[in-house]
Structure 1
Amino acid sequence: MAYRTVLVGTDGSPSSFRAVTAAASLAAASGATLVLACAYLPMRESERASAADRLGELAYKVSGSTPADDALRAAREHAVAAGAADVVLAAEEGDAVDVLIALAARHRADLVVVGNRGLNSLAGRLLGSVPSGVLHRAACDVLIARTTDGGR
C-alpha cells in the first residue's frame, strides 16, 4: 500500500524528531505529502505574564502558537533532511490526541505516525497516552515509531 498523506505529531523534543524522520522517510518513499502537526495549549495569563517579565522583548516566543510554530520549523528541517519533498505545517490549539485525529481527518491522512513516548519527565508520563489515544481513535493506519530506548 502506498500512502498519499502521512501525518506526524511533534512537540519539538528530540524523541519527536525521531518520529518525524521516520514519517518523512516513509513519505519520501511513497511520494506522499507529509503533514507535520503540533498541538499546543494556551498558557494561563499568570504564567504568560511571568514568562513575559523574564523574557522582555522576546516575550512573543511564549504566546499563542509561537512555541508550536518554532517546533514545526525545526521538524521541517528534519523532514527535509530525511527526504520529504511536500511538507505541510499545522499548529493547532487543543489536546494532542484530539488535534492529531482532527488534522488526520482534515488532511485525509492514510497514515499517522506518533512516537512511543512524547515529552519525557512528569509531563510525558501524564501525556504518554497520546500513542494509545491515536491508535484507538484514528480512522487510518497508525505507526508507533520507537523514539526512546525504553528497556532495550
Structure 2
Amino acid sequence: MSETYEKIVVGTDGSKSSLLAVERAAKIAAAFDATLIVGVAFYESKEDASKTLRQDSVTVLGDEVAKENLAAAAAHAKQFGVSKIETAVRPGTPVQALMSIVTDNNADLLVVGNRGINSLTGRLLGSVPADVARQSDCDVMIVHTVN
C-alpha cells in the first residue's frame, strides 16, 4: 500500500451536495499532486432509470446531461488547485459506474457524498456511499455533504 494517493475518483450527479464531494476530492488531489477523475453515471433510458428503487442520487438520463454535469464538476474542481483532472462517463447505476471507473483507472481513493446513507430507503435498500464502501478495493472517503 502506498502512503500517498495517485488517482482519486469522485462521483457527481450534478447536485450541490455532490459538488461538495468534488471540492473535498480536489483539495486532496491538489495536496498529493494526484490525478482527479470525476465520474458520472447515467441511465440510457427512462425504463432503466425506473428500475432503480433508490432515490438517493439525482437521476441522470442520457449521456449529454452526464457530460454537462462532468464539465461543471471539473471546472469546479479546478478552483481548488488540482492540476490533473480527467473525466469518465459510464452507463448504469451510480454504484456500478463508480466501481467501473475505480477499476479501470486502478484508483487508490474513491470520494462520495453521504446522500442517502441515513434515509429510511438507504437503511432498507442500501445507499450509494454504503454500497461502494462495501464493494471497493480501494480506500473510500464518505464526505458529509447532506445533514
- Report the TM-score when normalising by structure 1: 0.79
Q: Deviations over 1:118-143 (max 9, x none)?
A: 6xx9x989987000010000000000
Number of residue pairs the alignment of both structures matches? 132
In structure 2, give the amino acid aligned to 1:7.
V
Out of 4, 9, 13, the position equivalent to 1:2 is 4
In structure 2, give the amino acid aligned to 1:2.
T
The answer (yes or no) to whether the contact 1:117–1:128 under 8 Å persists in 2 is no
Q: Deviations over 1:84-143 (max 9, x none)?
A: 11000111101110110111011010000000016xx9x989987000010000000000
Structure 2 Cα separation of the partners of residues 128 and 10 of structure 1: 18
Q: Is the alpha carbon distance of 1:128 and 1:73 closer, same or farther for their aligned partners in structure 2, counting shifts above 3 Å?
A: farther
| Match of residue 113 from structure 1 | 111
Q: Is the alpha carbon distance of 1:83 and 1:127 closer, same or farther for their aligned partners in structure 2, counting shifts above 3 Å?
A: farther
The answer (yes or no) to whether the contact 2:17–2:113 under 8 Å persists in 1 is yes
| Match of residue 94 from structure 1 | 92
Q: Larger C-alpha radius of gyration, 1 or 2? A: 1
- Tell me, which stretches of 5 or more residues in structure 1 are unaligned? 46-61
The answer (yes or no) to whether the contact 2:43–2:61 under 8 Å persists in 1 is no
Identity over aligned residues, as a percent? Answer: 45
| Match of residue 18 from structure 2 | 16
Q: Secondary structure at the match of 1:29?
A: helix
Out of 124, 134, 139, the position equivalent to 1:136 is 134
The answer (yes or no) to whether the contact 1:28–1:84 under 8 Å persists in 2 is yes
- Flag as ranges the 4+ runs of structure 1 deviating above 4 A: 123-128
Give the root-mean-square deviation of aligned CA atoms.
2.5
Higher helix share: 1
- Tell me, which stretches of 5 or more residues in structure 2 are unaligned? 48-59
